[in-house]
Structure 1
Amino acid sequence: MTGNRAVVYNKPGSVEIRDTAYPDLILRDGPGVNPLNVGRKCEHGVILKVVTTNICGSDQHMVRGRTTAPSGLILGHEITGEVIEVGRDVEFIQKGDLVSVPFNIACGRCRNCKERHTNVCLNVNPDRPGSAYGYVDMGGWVGGQSEYVMVPYADFQLLKFPDKAQAMEKILDLTMLSDIFPTGYHGAVSAGVRPGSTVYVAGAGPVGLAAAHSAQLLGAAVVIVGDLNAERLAQAKSFGCETVNLREHANLAEQIEQILGTPEVDCAIDCVGFEAHGHGKAHGEAPATVLNSIMEVTRAGGSLGIPGLYVTGDPGAVDEDSKIGTLKIRFGLGWAKSHTFVTGQTPVMKYHRDLMMAILSGRAQIAKAVNATKISLEDAHSAYQEFDRGVSRKFVIDPHGLVR
């Protein structure tokens, strides 16, 4: 094998397919690779033939130019693939295995990994705890929106599907295990969703839809999804959610009261993040809007799950404070209501096996919930454009034409 093709961030608003090097078991220099990571040997890793790799809203932030991502960065942290080469130190994963790759890279050896905080591994990113494939400031591990990709720490990280034929039948569901499904589920768990809960989910993008479906799996009595996008709200309604259109009706508490008879919910999940907009027809970008609104509508003693992405560097922010992640949050309100906040990357490995079993048993229908839509590698540019316009689809790249 000598070649590879990948989706590469070119400039704000633009991605392209480029010929790139076939991966090997070493992290070589390239766009975004931390100098201290260059030359890391990965005999504990594997090479995957990518079966599916998804476009994520976090990728879209970079493509919009809202991060410091360098031109030439190979994108993609939602990866499912077949093992075609194993490193010398890999003991249990074998050639031919079909596996899901957690988006957070974790060594399995450090204190955080041993305590199941694989979202903040101490050994994979010289800049700060935590890493991911194909993402800015995450150490420079090469992304998986490509034909082939290298995955380190294979024995620890990879989730092997027990039956390849069965897995391929459900691959559009199983591809969501690398990020979006565990992320939505983590948001729901962090918010304290339990049987009988009333839940508000801010944002009807793919993560919001995954969080809403997760809340249903956890037994929520009512799941309310809010967004400015009518098409995305229709998708949420298609699998049993209540919805509120915040473009048409700016007062969230009033809309919740119309549904529940009370203006508060038991718990709330922020699936929007730092590119949040204000409510109403004349809305503009206001990055603290969602955090403040979910504090307002969550009952005293409730919890807020915050899987939505917030960053420390946003060159396109609306003000100087927001450019470094400083937001005008009504923290006093949250304190007065004794709210619990849970933030940060999702520790995928805490959830992915259970969610795999929910998919294989037919209990979870995540592909239907997020409107999974298969595309080719060549379709990636147009898919990013459609996603940016707010289409209600979760784009799944099938680089080798393996998905029926």
Structure 2
Amino acid sequence: MSGNKAIVYVKPGEVEVSDISYPDLILRDGPGVNPLNVGRKCNHGVIVKVISTNICGSDQHMVRGRTTAPSGLVLGHEITGEVIEVGSDVEFIKNGDIVSVPFNIACGRCPSCRKQDTHICENVNPDRPGSAYGYVDMGGWVGGQSEYVMVPYADFQLLKFPDRDQAMEKILDLTMLSDIFPTGYHGAVSAGVKTGSTVYVAGAGPVGLAAAHSAQLLGASVVIVGDLIEERLAQARSFGCETINLREHDDVGEQIEQILGTPEVDCAIDAVGFEASGHGEDGGEAPATVLNSIMGITRAGGRLGIPGLYVTGDPGASDADAKEGTLKIRFGLGFAKAHTFVTGQTPVMKYNRDLMKAILSGRAQIAKAVNATVISLDQAPDSYRAFDGGASRKFVIDPHGMISKTQHLEAAQQITK
């Protein structure tokens, strides 16, 4: 084989479908590849034929020009696929296995990985702990919004689905295991959600919706979701959440009081990150808005889960401090209320196997919660624009038509019954 098509970042506001090299088990030079990673041999890796790969809000930060991502960077860190080639050092993963690829790249050997802190692996990114596919300053591992991708450390990282037919039947749910379902769940766990909790989720994008669904799975009594876009709030209401329109009403506590009878919740989740907007009709970009608001409405002693992305370099920020990730946060308020803050990438492997079982049993309905929408690789540029415009959809790219074929087969079977 020699062909491979992928979604490539071109410049702010523009991505395109490009022909790229077919992967092999070496990390070769290319846009965004750390020079110290060039030539890295990956006999412990596999080549995956991509069944599904999703557009993520984190990708949008790069596409908007809000990072230092170079032109030509292959995007995509949410990958599910079929193993079609295994390296000589791979023992347990076999050709034909259908697998979920955690977006964190992790070696399984370093002290962090041995503690299940796979989000801060110490051996895969020469710049700092932590890495991901197709992302700026993450070591340069090639992204998976493509037809084929190389995955290193396969025996350690890959989550193999137990049954191929069952996996394809549930693929729209299972595709969320590479990132947003564990990320939303991590946000809820970090916030201390338990039976009876009242929970506020800032942001009704896919991660916020995944966090809200996760809070329900963990036993929350009330989940309140706040956003500026009514279409996204309608999606949150579709699976039983209360909602707050922050464009129409800027006082979060007042709206929470109307729902709960008190202006506070037990715990809160920031699923927005550094491109946050101020509340109200005229709210412009205000990157500390969410962090300050959730401190204000979370009870004393509560926990704040922060899966929303914050960066150390934001060339599109409105002021010099924000350009380097320095925000005007009311940390004194958090200190006075004895809040616990949990930040950073999600250690996907800590959660994905349990969440897989919740999906396969029918307990979790994550594809429905985030409005999974299947598109072709060629439709990805238009879908990036739609997502950037606030569309309440989780776009799932189907590079080989395998999902569409399965869906058509299932539809035909239903007709003939």
Question: If the TM-score is normalised by the length of the shorter chain, which range does it land in?
Answer: over 0.9
CA distance in 1, matches of 2:196, 2:388: 35
Structure 1 residue aligned with 2:110: 110
Q: Which one-letter code corresponds to 1:50 in the other structure?
A: V
Following superposition, the deviation at residue 398 of structure 1 comes to 0.2
**How does 1:290-301 map onto structure 2 within 5 Å?**
290-301=290-301
Structure 2 residue aligned with 1:360: 360
CA distance in 1, matches of 2:96, 2:205: 34
Structure 2 residue aligned with 1:100: 100
Q: Which one-letter code corresponds to 2:114 in the other structure?
A: K
Structure 2 residue aligned with 1:171: 171
Structure 2 residue aligned with 1:186: 186
Q: 1:21 aligns to what SS in structure 2?
A: coil
1:139 corresponds to 2:139: yes
**How does 1:225-264 map onto structure 2 within 5 Å?**
225-264=225-264
Q: 1:3 aligns to what SS in structure 2?
A: coil
1:346 corresponds to 2:346: yes
Q: Could you report, residue by residue, the CA deviation over 1:112-144 in whole angstroms, capped at 9, with x for unpaired residues?
A: 000110000000000000000000000000000
Structure 2 residue aligned with 1:61: 61
Structure 2 residue aligned with 1:387: 387
Taking only aligned residues, the RMSD between alpha carbons, in angstroms, comes to 0.2
Q: Which one-letter code corresponds to 2:389 in the other structure?
A: R
Following superposition, the deviation at residue 154 of structure 1 comes to 0.1
CA distance in 2, matches of 1:287, 1:319: 10
CA distance in 2, matches of 1:230, 1:212: 16
**How does 1:330-345 map onto structure 2 within 5 Å?**
330-345=330-345
CA distance in 2, matches of 1:70, 1:367: 32
1:305 corresponds to 2:313: no
Q: 2:20 aligns to what SS in structure 1?
A: strand
CA distance in 1, matches of 2:120, 2:86: 25
Following superposition, the deviation at residue 373 of structure 1 comes to 0.1
Q: Which one-letter code corresponds to 2:322 in the other structure?
A: S
CA distance in 1, matches of 2:372, 2:65: 25
1:284 corresponds to 2:278: no
1:46 corresponds to 2:74: no
Following superposition, the deviation at residue 216 of structure 1 comes to 0.1
Structure 1 residue aligned with 2:269: 269
CA distance in 1, matches of 2:318, 2:165: 49
Q: Could you report, residue by residue, the CA deviation over 1:357-379 in whole angstroms, capped at 9, with x for unpaired residues?
A: 00000000000000000000000
Q: Which one-letter code corresponds to 2:32 in the other structure?
A: G
CA distance in 1, matches of 2:328, 2:91: 50
Following superposition, the deviation at residue 334 of structure 1 comes to 0.2
Q: Which one-letter code corresponds to 2:318 in the other structure?
A: V
**How does 1:153-164 map onto structure 2 within 5 Å?**
153-164=153-164
Normalising by structure 2, we get a TM-score of 0.97
Structure 2 residue aligned with 1:213: 213
Q: Which one-letter code corresponds to 2:192 in the other structure?
A: G
Structure 2 residue aligned with 1:127: 127
Q: 2:211 aligns to what SS in structure 1?
A: helix
Q: Which one-letter code corresponds to 1:126 in the other structure?
A: P
Following superposition, the deviation at residue 292 of structure 1 comes to 0.1
Q: Could you report, residue by residue, the CA deviation over 1:187-231 in whole angstroms, capped at 9, with x for unpaired residues?
A: 000000000000000000000000000000000000000000000
1:369 corresponds to 2:369: yes
Q: 1:321 aligns to what SS in structure 2?
A: helix
Q: Which one-letter code corresponds to 1:78 in the other structure?
A: E
Structure 2 residue aligned with 1:200: 200
Q: Could you report, residue by residue, the CA deviation over 1:308-331 in whole angstroms, capped at 9, with x for unpaired residues?
A: 000000000010000000000000
CA distance in 2, matches of 1:179, 1:306: 15
Q: Could you report, residue by residue, the CA deviation over 1:368-402 in whole angstroms, capped at 9, with x for unpaired residues?
A: 00000000000000000000000000000000000
Following superposition, the deviation at residue 58 of structure 1 comes to 0.2
Q: 1:210 aligns to what SS in structure 2?
A: helix
Q: 1:126 aligns to what SS in structure 2?
A: coil
Unmatched tracts of structure 2, length 5 or more: 408-417
Following superposition, the deviation at residue 29 of structure 1 comes to 0.1
CA distance in 1, matches of 2:134, 2:250: 37
Structure 2 residue aligned with 1:150: 150
Following superposition, the deviation at residue 37 of structure 1 comes to 0.1
CA distance in 2, matches of 1:233, 1:318: 27
Structure 2 residue aligned with 1:325: 325
Q: Which one-letter code corresponds to 1:140 in the other structure?
A: G
Misfit runs of 4+, over 3 Å: none
CA distance in 1, matches of 2:392, 2:365: 16
Following superposition, the deviation at residue 256 of structure 1 comes to 0.1
**How does 1:66-105 map onto structure 2 within 5 Å?**
66-105=66-105
Following superposition, the deviation at residue 178 of structure 1 comes to 0.1
Structure 1 residue aligned with 2:415: none
Following superposition, the deviation at residue 271 of structure 1 comes to 0.1
Normalising by structure 1, we get a TM-score of 1.00
Q: 1:262 aligns to what SS in structure 2?
A: coil
Structure 2 residue aligned with 1:223: 223
Following superposition, the deviation at residue 13 of structure 1 comes to 0.3
CA distance in 2, matches of 1:20, 1:241: 42
Identity %: 83
